[in-house]
Amino acid sequence: MTIQIGDRIPEATFAQATAEGPKPVNTADVFAGKTVALFAVPGAFTPTCSARHLPGFKDNLDAFKGKGVDVVACLSVNDAFVMKAWAESQGVEDGSIVMLADGNGELTRALGLVLDGSGFGLGERSQRYSMLVKDGVVTELNVEQGGEFKVSSAEHLLAQL
């Protein structure tokens, strides 16, 4: 079942790259007591994700902060090393966007937002979406239809704030 507006983010653990290596992070670490703009991509380094999705959130960081967002986070079913390399290639290695590696797809499955990319050799990935989460509760949810990039953009989420 897909998460809905008003639902609480389920408990899950994923990884975040640190100078000491991958560090386990749970959903409470990211969402408790904060307003979080979370966006998810099917894969780091993939064309739309690298050319439009992540750059849109990077370019609008100040606008999100100005509207009360504490954290902008990107989630992908990739490992922490890939997420770190992608952050470096996109100029967000400073932590301005929190890069969350859902390597085993634990949170993605719990959210009900799995994308079957096996036809492209990708296996299970995350659907493309954005959401606003306030103290662990989803207040906005924008899931893309297959192959589209409209409602999950930074600009669309900003307009909802």
List strand residue ranges (DSSP E) for 49-95, in order.
Answer: 71-76
Q: Which residues pair with residue 40 across a beta bridge? A: 75, 129
Name the residue among 84, 82, 77, 79 with its Cα closest to residue 127: 77
Catalytic residues: 49
Query: Containing H/E element for 92?
Result: none
Q: Which amino acid belongs to residue 32?
A: A
25: three-class secondary structure by DSSP: strand
Q: Provide the residue type at 68 as one letter.
A: G
Tokens read off for 31: 């969402």
Query: What SS3 class is residue 90?
Result: helix
Indicate the DSSP class of residue 8: B
Pairwise CA distance, residues 49 & 1, whole Å: 25
